[in-house]
Chains A and B, each alone.
Chain A
Amino acid sequence: MQHPHLSRRAFLKGSVAAGIGITIAPLGSRAFAALFESRVTATPEPWASPGGARFRIDAFSKVCGGKVFARDIRARDMPGWPRQQGHAMLLKANRADHAYQGFELSSLDESLHPDRIVTAADLERDGIAFPDSHGPDPLLPQGKTPLYIGHPVAILIWHDFARYRAAKNALKFRDDLIRYGAATGEVERPPYGSFRYVRVGGDTPFAPDEFSSLKDSDLFPAIKNRRPVWPDDPSLNGDVGERGLYHAQRMAEQLEQPPENWEVFQARYTTPYIEPGALEPDNGNGWFDADSGELHFVVATQCPQEAARETALMLEGSRFAVRHLNVHPGYTVGYGSKDHNIFVYYAALAAMYGDGHPIRLANDRFEQFQSGIKRHPFDMDYRLAVDRDSLKFQIFRAHLDVNGGGRANYSASVAAVGATAAQSVYYLPRSDLATTAYPSRAVEAGSMRGYGTLQTMAATEMMVDELAERLGVDPFALRRANLLEAGMKNTQGAIPGGAIRVGEILDKAERHPLWQERHERRDARQAEDPDHLYGTGFAISQKDFGTGAEAPMASVEIDAAGRIRLRQIAIDMGTGAATSQAMNVLEVLGRPADDIKTGETDWSELALETSGNPYTMSQDEQDRLSQTPRWTPRLASPSSASNSAYYASHATREAARLVFRHGLWPAALSIWRQGIYGGQANPYVIRLEDARWVEGHLTANGMTPLSLATLAAKAHELGLITGASVHAFNRWSWASAEFALGEERSRLPLDAVAVKYGDGADDDKRRLMSSHGYHLLDRQAMRYPDVQLNNAHVTYYSPVATLVDLRVSKGSGEVEILEHYSWVECGKPIVSELVMGQLEGGVAMGIGHALLEHMPLYEDGPGNGSWNFNRYQVPLARHCAVWKQGGEILPPLSETDPAKGMGEVVMIPVVGAIVNALAHATGQRFRDLPVTPERIQEALHG
């Protein structure tokens, strides 16, 4: 995923935004639990052993119905809050083609009228500066046309539950609450974003490019009449944009008039409008204590840092005189939909207008369909030229139209990421990828698992499979002839990181009985069962992880008894991030973290500051800013983009390594060298690279194993480093700097480091720990990745492949998945069970995308407030071949492999595999998703 959004404030420091102090204590963290009499997340037995995680760190709370979600919290659960819980709902316009002229609650019994109604006029009067990135018009002013169906016009607030419930029941499903004036038509606006990525490779995949985004530039159109316009007659002698377009035009001409030995495939693919369906609907619960100026806010979000910062900025100049913001993010779930979500700010506003009452704004499922973030529908025109003799792809041209709905969210970024992922696992010597995200009157689309790549890569696999059939070649042979291999360049001209093991996966899949026996199995079954058609399909994809501006933070501390405390900026959305981050410590410090706090944002010890936009700043700007010793291009990342396994782990492991290298290791040497002539260590040569943890004890080259408690006590006694807090920055490559640690000077893949010394530290060291209890190190020779690497758009990939076996009812067109099997390569998994869980869940979500899930976009769609799971079919167990599925994780190349993000890519190949299996079964190629029974019936009998 890419999130190139602009910050509206140029300077932020630490945990203070706009002069409002921010404290974040996530639900489920010990810091938060300590506020309660009962510890809701206490785990009564060890959740991990030296062999690995026995269960999730949050398992007991979750399986016992503990209050782990923000949605579970009421005022009486919160220490210090008034006990009476108030409630709120959003009143929404369900037409977007007439001017809004106010609302009518007169049908409501007078006793049920809201205690407070908040409209656009209130926000204006009270100086509320709603986040620009979610504007305009969070509450629609009278006289304006709604931007989209479901545009909120007011927040209705009741101070008690009984009246709120009765009033809401009376108001829901009513079309007569909103008054409309003159017909205006839909609000017309320019695209959210439009980009083009052109690449002309050199003579070989390894030779320098003739033109590419990384070498030259992305391309940007002029916008006329709300459409992108590209120059008609670009010149090779023009500026970089013209040169790129010149190459694009030559490609277009060649696709129109190809050489005789080329096959040019052309097809249009469309994808549905999808409801993420996160079972915890959007919600927040806040109490503004006017006496103290504190807003206490429990909220469901994937990005607590952004939510806190933007809430503070929203209220900064308001009449409410907010002095402090206490944010409590819960464990949550969103599949992306709770990242950069406007709902947070509606909930915060409801709290501000609670007149002293805690106010809870919590969507029911109808409201969640009506206003929750959706997956973008894509309309894709693909052309692929292949040399019939060599089977080598020659030119790939993809033009994408993306429907972003009525409010700007990540649509531009989703369109860009979808385009730059379209190549999937293939090397494409020449490519022209153009993509535009358009606004519409549909409910807003934004981040959702796959982030545009699901749409484009599934289509690529459908295309390649069909092309193989057209060429009369084996689809594995066609894939193998065109694999992107290590050292080759992607469609932006960047070389992917590390080994590419797609070929290994292809080998395994091709040998699998599901594939080898597909024709015989199909024919035999169809002979036995004339009512069904049987088929087997395959697809493979590799997807990026990360955003191109990742900023992980972590701290690891060990006390004198050997207990390890980990603080992490990441938040757990059900993927198991809390568990895996705690496990990351195991390899370095011999056992998992005993205590983990996720969603941490108080990193005052690092004293970092930021300014500029990491995606758009010039090299000169970066060079100038990086002279400031505490500057970083980005303070914090949301939990998104499959970023915990690799990026968050990077920070955890680097912090743990510092504690090991400069704390536990010298402590061990000190113990082993006790005695005359250097003790037991003297007859041997002890090297750092010989250090090994064995059953929780450290040994090296035959030295006596030492327990963590022994080492920690010694490290503290000697005043060695016992804690480290780190920040890193990644723009498809890690920033690095030199840091002095004792007498050593090391270049580390970090841009900020602060350390703590043990209890026995001398006065000199203690004086150094002046940065919130840490010694903040001064970095030297800071190197940030060149800004041009933004144009790489991706360098980290994880591949997944899936085989699907299915059958189709000839009569009804119903599809039944009979069996599926997947392969995933994700480096060295941190917790294999969590990886397999992601795979299984991703495959299910992909099945929904391919076969089940869709909604109308506009008047009959979710914005009208009538949608729920009764008419939106998410996959049930019977859709997923729950007993007949399998999968495997490729063994890492070595134990030094990084853990790679894979939470999104797992759902992609199954989509292509299903559609390809349908072709095997029916002989028909389907290009519009989902492939519903109706579409199959039309294809078979229409």
Chain B
Amino acid sequence: MAELPTRSLSLTINGEAIGPVDVPEDLMMIDFLHEYQGLTGSRLGCGQGICRACVVILDHDDGTSEEMRICITGAHFFNGKRIRTIEGHAERDAAGDIVALNPIQQKFIDHFAFQCSYCAPGFVNAATVLVERLQRDPLAAGELEGAIEQALGEHICRCTGYVRYYQATRAVIEELGLAKEG
């Protein structure tokens, strides 16, 4: 049998060093997480980078973070990089049980924001990136709705009509004081 070309991949996922692992050169990151790491929370929606159910957070060395659509991004792009997936946000105890959610997760459940939840990981990650950006650089209250629209507006949810995702995200930002009056 002909060998499929592979290359070594090392990265950090949710604070844990992974690899080196030999994986196919053209493997998409979503397949690496699903089939090699058992992390299936980043969901395959379209495979085209359209729906954003697969979004993870890429952490940069300068302290900034950004969304990445991993259904259209090769696994090897992430070599040496740090990402956070939906599985990594909540604080867990030694037994692995959840102790606390991140503020976006908590507000999403308080607001009944999702239904089937297939898209929820993408929304959590996108909203988390927004909150982190605003923590570095707060905005004027009048710009808040626009900022949320820009951050979440391309994400597809077929169940909810988006209302509670948006309201919950706004509530987090307001409660953290990241939208300044005046």
Binding site for B on A (CB under 8 A): 38, 42, 44, 54-56, 58-60, 62-69, 71-74, 76-77, 85, 109-111, 161-163, 165-166, 169, 276-281, 331-333, 335, 364-366, 573-576, 833-834, 837, 840-845, 868-870, 874-878, 880, 882-883, 885
Contact = CB atoms under 8 A, between A and B. Distances in A.
A64 B41 contact: yes
Contacts of B153: 876-878
Nearest to B86: A65
Most buried by B among A76, A279, A837, A844: A279
A904 to B, nearest CB: 13
Contacts of B41: 64-66, 72
A761 B56 CA distance: 56
8 contacts: A42-B98, A59-B109, A63-B114, A331-B117, A335-B158, A833-B111, A868-B50, A878-B149
Contacts of A281: 44
A163 B4 contact: yes
Interface of B: 1-2, 4, 24, 26-27, 31, 34-35, 38-48, 50-51, 53, 85-87, 89-90, 96-99, 101, 105, 108-112, 114-121, 124, 145, 149, 152-164, 166
A837 B97 contact: no
B38 A76 contact: yes
A166 B31 CA distance: 12
Contacts of A364: 44, 47
Most buried by A among B35, B38, B155: B35
A877 B149 contact: yes
Contact of B118 (A279, A366, A844): A279
Most buried by A among B4, B35, B43, B162: B162
A371 B35 CA distance: 24
A203 to B, nearest CB: 46
Contact of B161 (A42, A64, A870, A882): A882
A63 B109 contact: yes
Contacts of A67: 40
A111 B97 CA distance: 44
Contacts of B53: 279
Contacts of B1: 111
Given A166-B24, A365-B47, 18 more contacts: A62-B120, A63-B124, A64-B90, A66-B41, A68-B117, A165-B27, A166-B4, A169-B26, A333-B158, A335-B158, A574-B115, A837-B112, A841-B160, A842-B161, A868-B46, A870-B50, A882-B149, A882-B166
Contacts of B110: 54-55
B154 A876 contact: yes
B35 A85 contact: yes
Contacts of B50: 868-870
B118 A64 contact: no
Contacts of A63: 86, 101, 105, 108-109, 114, 117, 120, 124
Contacts of B149: 877-878, 882
Most buried by A among B105, B109, B119, B120: B109
A880 B116 contact: no
Contacts of A72: 40-41
Contacts of B109: 55-56, 59-60, 63
B155 to A, nearest CB: 8
Ranked nearest first, the 10 interchain pairs of A and B with the lowest CB-CB distance are A65-B41, A574-B116, A65-B86, A333-B116, A62-B117, A844-B161, A840-B161, A574-B115, A279-B118, A72-B40
B contact face: mostly helix, strand, loop, or mixed: loop
A331 to B, nearest CB: 7
Nearest to B107: A63
Most buried by B among A64, A366, A576: A64
A64 B2 contact: no
Contacts of B86: 63-65
Contacts of B163: 840, 880, 882, 885
A60 B39 CA distance: 16
A382 to B, nearest CB: 29
A576 to B, nearest CB: 7
Contacts of B99: 44
Contacts of B46: 365, 868-870
Given A56-B109, A63-B108, A67-B40, A333 B47 contact: no
A64 B41 CA distance: 8
Given A166-B4, A870-B50, A62 B114 contact: yes
A38 B105 CA distance: 21
Contacts of A576: 112, 115
Contacts of A574: 114-117, 159
Given A55-B109, A876-B154, A77 B116 contact: no
Contacts of B111: 833
Contacts of A883: 145, 166
A44 B166 CA distance: 25
B158 A843 contact: no
Contacts of B34: 74
Contacts of B96: 38
A279 B45 contact: yes
A279 B156 contact: yes
A842 B115 CA distance: 12
Contacts of A169: 26
Nearest to B108: A63
B112 A55 contact: yes
Contacts of A365: 44-48
B107 to A, nearest CB: 10
A448 to B, nearest CB: 12
Contacts of B45: 279, 365, 869
B162 A877 contact: yes
A876 B118 contact: no
B136 to A, nearest CB: 24
B34 to A, nearest CB: 8
Contacts of A76: 38
A880 B159 CA distance: 13
Contacts of B108: 63
Contacts of A277: 158
A74 B120 CA distance: 21
B42 to A, nearest CB: 7
A76 B31 CA distance: 15
Given A62-B114, A279-B53, A834-B112, A840 B164 contact: yes
B161 A65 contact: no
A844 B160 contact: yes
Contacts of A834: 112
A841 B38 contact: no
A55 B110 CA distance: 6
B29 to A, nearest CB: 13
A383 B119 CA distance: 43
Contacts of A56: 109, 112
Most buried by A among B48, B85, B115: B115
A111 B156 CA distance: 38
Contact of A837 (B98, B105, B160): B160
Contacts of B156: 279, 869, 874, 876
Nearest to B41: A65
Given A76-B38, A279-B156, A869-B156, A841 B115 contact: yes
A60 B120 CA distance: 11
A74 B38 CA distance: 8
A675 to B, nearest CB: 46
B121 to A, nearest CB: 5
Given A63-B117, A845-B158, A869 B40 contact: no
A870 B46 CA distance: 9
